[in-house]
Amino acid sequence: MPRLTLRTLLAYIDDTLNAAEARELGQQVAESEEARLLVERIKKVTRRRGLATPVASDPDDETADPNTVAAYLDNTLEPERVKELEETCLKSDVHLAEVAACHQILTLLLTEPVRVPPRAHKRMYQIVKPPVSIPDRLPNKKLPVVGLAPQDEGDEAETTDAAFLLGMKRYSSSTPWAERVVFVATIAVLLLVLTIGVVMSLPRAEPRPPFSTPGSSYAVLQPVAPPQLEPPPKDKEAPLPKEKEPTAVVTAPPPRAIEDEKPPVEPGPGLGPPILPASNDRSRPIAQVKSRRSLVVSQQPNSGVWQRIGLNLEAIDAVMPTDPVMALPGYKAELSVDRKLQLTLWGNVPEQIPYRILESRVTLHIPPEGFAADITLLAGRIYLKSEQAAGAKVRVRLASEVWDITLPDDKSSVLVELISWFQPGTPYNRQGGSQPKREGRVAVAFGSAQLETTGNRFVKFEKMAIGEQVTWDSVKNTLQGPTVIARDDYESLLEINPTNPVKGELLREVTRLLTFMADEVKTREAVGPVVKNFVGPQLPSNIPVLDRDLLSRLAIYAHAAMCDNTEEGSRGLRVLVDVLRSESPWLARQAVVTALVQWVARAVGNTALLYNVLLEKGLSEREADRLLMLLRAYIAPTQPDPDKLDELVNEGPNREPPLLGDPEVAIREAALWNIMVARLQSWVPLPLTVNVGAVGAKVGSEEYRRFLAESKKWIEEIKRRNVKMP
């Protein structure tokens, strides 16, 4: 059985072990929290930009010597120096990145075949003058570069391959000039014919019509006054005229010069077509749920109760316009909108992808003419894909923005998401006060797309390619992009399965428990009671599942998603506050903090609603204010404020207890949540001596004193790693 060392971990990550050793080492990694963190750290440091090369701290320091690293990777370094080098790597990201990157490069060189064409080989030898080199020396076919199996081929075959390997033309230096001229002339004639064909196929420039339909006009459209109807006879009432789409009633703006009518060459700010209000027509269903084993819920307009849809592929699974529809956290649900657009609601939980999205919530409207769908994105992430080969045009409304997205065909797929959160430094006000920051983006997952805004701003992005995104936030209130998405974000965008066996096993367990919870909802009205039954703080004893704690966390996220931003909806948070103050496992309490952080940032008034709930559950005004401050982005994920970090573990100026040492366990859990956010961003490994579960222990006990003392060391390491360089 291979030992769990840095060298074996590198071999495990680069997949150079045989199947049996990889399986045994993967099991050891799964059983060691420290090993899992080290694996993630190695992957992160090798992708970090701006890292310098190792520099010797003194003349006797050999850990920065390339020969030492080479001997270590070749397994010829003395045991004493091996220990010294590995300890240095664990302490220094620069040394760890150097060793890991070298190991990765050597792995690629030893596994990827490399062929050097004879002509390139000879040219290299001719650079160095004799007698240092032998210019006429032929390549040694018996010793191929990097272990490629030798092939018995003549020099002519090698020379033929050289054209493809070096990207040169097929003809060689011996080719007659006449043949070269004919070749170039042929290419020139083909290009000329192609150019003439393209020019002839282009439509001739004609003056623009004086008016156009919304979505394709760059002019400010003005509605026509409604026609005067003749009064009906007095003996009977005339039927009301059927409502028409407001997009059809437009007039031309005042006449302008043709040059004025042209759109801008580059996307830029300006006035776009007016934002037409979303249709409230409920005369027909707008979409149908296709997913059978996902918890998709819809809110009834009269009662406000969330009911499950998608139990059967019948009329009962139809979605009515203006009804909020939501995929609960962790569930992925597919909807067909008017058989023109495939709409995927993308729910998520931190156990799947550590991203700031839980539920996915939308409202659908009857689309205006020329659009396949009109969607209001209330929260979370959705994916759009045309169900027709000709593509589709979709209007998406989010926050104050209205975006018109064009999918050119049924192969293109676009992500749209909206996230709300309190930016660190936002003034705290128990009555709400400051608005949460809202962030939106459009990203192309497959194919291409066109994005055009409307309303007070006009910006048009003609063609966004795969892997590009356009972002917006409510603070700057401008669109940025298109920019290339980072690789990690793109992998989560595509939901690429992780190669880490530990993460893969967790995802399988999460999927199994989500399916189990969905199957327990037997009727449309039972979704709320079933989810609440799994929340806790004490789960029913008859639940036939292995991981009861994980099921409780998934139910906590789902229950919070169904608590509306109203006084009646906030009452549902009382069961979550009970879990937060109970002796439940600390991961369940941390799930409550995550859900409350998301819930508070939904709307300005949610802070005041949660404040009243906390008072009802027995917290004092001081405790409620302290808890809410911690829920509203108390610690910045990047460059955390050192003073605020100290407040987590040190007494205040008025001898206030540290936030991590408050007598109220709910405050301690929220303080620990902020530390965990800063730790993950700063990549501070969790020492094996720290028992984060001790946060629920009695303040003043020996176990808690040890936890607080170790947490102070932890805070100092976070501060040290986030010092701004001069």
What are 138-152's pLDDT values in tens digits? 665 544 444 444 444
Average pLDDT estimate for 442-464: 87
pLDDT for res 491: 61
Hey, which residues does 416 pair with through a beta bridge? 382, 442
Q: Please state, in angstroms and rounded to a whole number, the distance separating the CA atoms of residues 221 and 413.
A: 31
Q: How confident is the model at residue 476 (pLDDT cuts 50, 70, 90)?
A: confident
Does residue 37 surpass a pLDDT of 60? yes
Place of tokens 């934002």: 275
Average pLDDT estimate for 692-721: 79
Q: Which domains does the chain have, with CATH numbers?
A: 6-111 (no CATH), 118-165 (no CATH), 287-494 (2.60.120.1440), 634-726 (no CATH)
Kindly list the distances between the CA atom of residue 569 and the CA atoms of 297, 362, 429, 562, in Å, as whole numbers in the listed order: 15, 18, 21, 8
Hey, which residues does 298 pair with through a beta bridge? 307, 325
Q: β-strand 448-453 against 437-446: which pairing, if any?
A: unpaired
Query: Taking the chain, what is the end-to-end CA distance rounded to the nearest angstrom?
Result: 48
Mean pLDDT of the chain: 77
Q: How confident is the model at residue 538 (pLDDT cuts 50, 70, 90)?
A: low
- Of the two residues 674 and 272, the one the predictor is more confident about is 674
> How buried is 239 (Cβ within 10 angstroms: 0-12 exposed, 13-18 middle, 19+ buried)?
exposed
- Side chain identity at residue 182, one-letter code: V
Average pLDDT estimate for 33-61: 79
Give 306-322 pLDDT, tens digit per residue: 988 876 645 457 888 88
Listing DSSP states for 655-680 in one string gives SPPPGGG-SSHHHHHHHHHHHHHHHH
The SS3 of residue 465 is strand
Q: Please state, in angstroms and rounded to a whole number, the distance separating the CA atoms of residues 344 and 335.
A: 6
- Of the two residues 673 and 121, the one the predictor is more confident about is 673
Percent of the chain exceeding pLDDT 90 equals: 23
Most confident of the following: 110-124, 296-310, 673-687, 688-702: 296-310
- Residue 510 token pair: 């999460």
Average pLDDT estimate for 329-333: 93
pLDDT for res 166: 43
Tally Cβ neighbours within 10 Å of residue 379. 21
- Of the two residues 430 and 218, the one the predictor is more confident about is 430
Average pLDDT estimate for 65-89: 85
pLDDT for res 304: 78
For residue 482, whether the previous peptide bond is cis, meaning omega lies within 30 degrees of 0, is yes
Does residue 77 surpass a pLDDT of 90? no
Q: Are 321 and 366 in contact (CB under 8 A)?
A: yes
Q: Please state, in angstroms and rounded to a whole number, the distance separating the CA atoms of residues 269 and 705.
A: 58
- Of the two residues 159 and 687, the one the predictor is more confident about is 687
pLDDT for res 497: 47
Does residue 160 surpass a pLDDT of 70? no
Does residue 267 surpass a pLDDT of 50? no
Does residue 680 surpass a pLDDT of 60? yes
- Of the two residues 260 and 136, the one the predictor is more confident about is 136
DSSP letter at 458?
-
- Of the two residues 629 and 117, the one the predictor is more confident about is 629
Instruction: Return the sign of the alpha-carbon dihedral for residues 333, 337, 338, 342.
Output: negative
Hey, which residues does 453 pair with through a beta bridge? 403
pLDDT for res 265: 32
Average pLDDT estimate for 539-548: 65
Q: β-strand 373-386 against 392-398: which pairing, if any?
A: parallel
Average pLDDT estimate for 345-361: 91
Does residue 259 surpass a pLDDT of 80? no
How many residues belong to the chain?
A: 726
DSSP letter at 353?
-
Most confident of the following: 218-232, 241-255, 266-280, 480-494: 480-494
Q: How confident is the model at residue 489 (pLDDT cuts 50, 70, 90)?
A: low
Does residue 582 surpass a pLDDT of 70? yes
pLDDT for res 627: 92
Give 587-608 pLDDT, tens digit per residue: 888 999 999 999 999 998 899 9
Average pLDDT estimate for 437-466: 88
DSSP letter at 565?
S
Q: Please state, in angstroms and rounded to a whole number, the distance separating the CA atoms of residues 33 and 411.
A: 41
Kindly list the distances between the CA atom of residue 331 and the CA atoms of 127, 435, 594, in Å, as whole numbers in the listed order: 63, 29, 17
Q: Please state, in angstroms and rounded to a whole number, the distance separating the CA atoms of residues 630 and 674.
A: 7
Q: Which stretches of 33-117 are DSSP H helices? A: 33-47, 66-73, 79-91, 93-111
Q: Please state, in angstroms and rounded to a whole number, the distance separating the CA atoms of residues 617 and 591.
A: 19
Does residue 156 surpass a pLDDT of 50? no
Kindly list the distances between the CA atom of residue 205 and the CA atoms of 213, 258, 262, 596, 630, in Å, as whole numbers in the listed order: 20, 11, 11, 58, 61
Does residue 219 surpass a pLDDT of 60? no
pLDDT for res 458: 79
Does residue 221 surpass a pLDDT of 50? no
- Residue 336 token pair: 């067909």
Q: How confident is the model at residue 542 (pLDDT cuts 50, 70, 90)?
A: low
> How buried is 646 (Cβ within 10 angstroms: 0-12 exposed, 13-18 middle, 19+ buried)?
middle
pTM score, whole prediction: 0.62
pLDDT for res 610: 93
pLDDT for res 67: 85
pLDDT for res 282: 78
Q: How confident is the model at residue 493 (pLDDT cuts 50, 70, 90)?
A: low
Give 397-422 pLDDT, tens digit per residue: 998 899 999 999 999 999 999 999 88
